Amino acid sequence: MPAEPGVYRFRDDRDRVIYVGRASDLRARVRSYAGDLADRPHLRRMVPQVRRVEAVVCASVPEAAWLERNLLERALPRWNRIRGGLELVGWLELDADPARPLLRLVVAETDPPASAFGPYLGVERLALARRGLLRVWPLELAGQRLDAAAGSLAEARGVVPADLGRFAERIRAVLARDPDAIDELRLRLAGARDQAAAQLAFEVAGQVVEETAAVVWLVAPQRVTGCTEGLVVAGWADGVLVTVRASGDRLDRWTSRPSSREAGERAASATPARWRAFAVRNAELAAALRAC
C-alpha cells in the first residue's frame, strides 16, 4: 500500500464492499486497522470481517476527500455511517465592481454562480484561504465607495482604487492554479508571518500559518469532481481492469475485476490522455493488492 493520498475500501468474504475511507497516507491509515482502534470503537467489529483491501491513489488529499464523498453519496456501505460526509461545499466568486469589489464565499447545494471558482470541500478551510488571499491582495479595500472604517484601513495599508485590476488579476490566477501566482502568494504570506513574529504578534503569525495551509489545500490538484460529464477512466495491469466512471460531472463508481489482456487494453485505450497515468497507476496497485 503506497504512502500517498487516496481512497481505500474493505470487502468481506462474499466480496461485498463493507467500508470506504480516505487517507492522506494510505499505508499508515490501512495499517492503523491492525491496532486497537481506541478512537474508532464502532469499527472494531468490522475488522474481523475484512478479507480484501482495495485502493485508489489520488493526486492530493482534497481529491481523495472528493472521491470518498462521491462514492459514499452513491452508495453507503454497511460500516460507513454518513452518506457523503459532513463537510460543506463552497465556491469563491470574485466581483471586481469598481465601486465595491468583493471576494465572496458562496455555500450552495445546487446552482452555484456560473462565474465562481470551485467547488471546494470544506468551508472552514475555504474561509481561511479567502482570508489569506485578501491579506496579500486586499481587493475589497480598492473600491471607490468604501465606508469610513474600510477607507481608514485602505489608507493605512496604502491601497488605492488603481490597485483593483492588479489585485483581481492575481487572485484569479491563484484560483486558476497558476504556479507563478501561487508561488507569489506563498512568498508574501511567509513574509507576513515573519513580520508578525518579529513584532511579537504571535497570534497574527499563527493566523497566517493557518491561512497558508488553507491556500495549499485550495490549490491542490482535484479532478474527480467537476470532470467531463460521463467520463470513463479505465486501466489494465497484470490481469486486472480498474474502471472509475462519472455520473454527471463526478467520478462516483469504482470497479476492479479480473480481465483478459485484450479486453483490458481495449477498455484502457478509450481513457483520455490526461487520465492515463492515473488509470495505469491504479490498475498496477489493484493487481498488486489482489496478488497479496
Q: How much is the average pLDDT of 21-29?
A: 97
Predicted local confidence at residue 114, as pLDDT:
80
DSSP 229-249: TT-EEEEEETTEEEEEEEETT
pLDDT averaged over every residue in the chain: 94
Among 204, 209, 264, 208, which Cα is nearest to 238's? 264
Domain(s) of CATH 3.40.1440.10: residues in the chain: 1-86
Q: What is the pLDDT of residues 122-146, one digit of tens each?
A: 999 999 999 999 999 999 999 999 9
pLDDT of residue 110: 66
How many alpha carbons fall within 13 Å on the CB side of residue 268? 24
pLDDT, position 37: 80
Assign 95 a pLDDT band (cuts: 50, 70, 90). very high
The type of residue at 277 is A
Give the pLDDT mean for 102-114.
83
Is it true that the peptide bond before 119 is cis, omega within 30 degrees of 0?
yes
Report the share of the chain in percent with pLDDT over 90.
90
Chain segment 167-223, per-residue pLDDT in tens: 999 999 999 999 999 999 999 999 999 999 999 999 999 999 999 999 999 999 999
Which fold does the domain 1-86 belong to in CATH?
A: GIY-YIG endonuclease (3.40.1440)
**pLDDT per residue as tens digits for the range 27-53:** 999 999 988 887 888 888 999 999 999
pLDDT at residue 36, as a whole number = 80
Q: Which of 278, 221, 206 is nearest to 57 (CA)?
A: 278
DSSP states of 1-41: --SS-EEEEEE-TT--EEEEEEESSHHHHHHHTTS--TT-G
Q: Which three cell numbers stand for residue 13?
A: 468474504
- Amino acid found at 91: W
For the record, the C-alpha cell of 246 comes out as 462519472
Q: How far is CA 104 from the centre of its chain?
A: 19
Higher-pLDDT residue of 178 and 112 is 178
**57 Rama class: left (phi>0) / alpha (psi -120 to 50) / beta:** beta
Between CA 119 and CA 106 the distance in angstroms is: 10
User: Cell numbers of 234, please?
Assistant: 479505465
- Is residue 292 pLDDT above 70, yes or no? yes
* CA separation for the pair 229, 152 (Å, rounded): 48
pLDDT in tens, 249-290: 999 999 999 999 999 999 999 999 999 999 999 999 999 999
Residue 109 has pLDDT above 70, yes or no: no
pLDDT above 70 (res 237)? yes
Asked which of 44-48, 162-166, 200-204, 243-247 is least confident by mean pLDDT, the reply is 44-48
More confident residue, 292 or 18: 18
pLDDT band at residue 84 using 50, 70 and 90 as cut-offs: confident
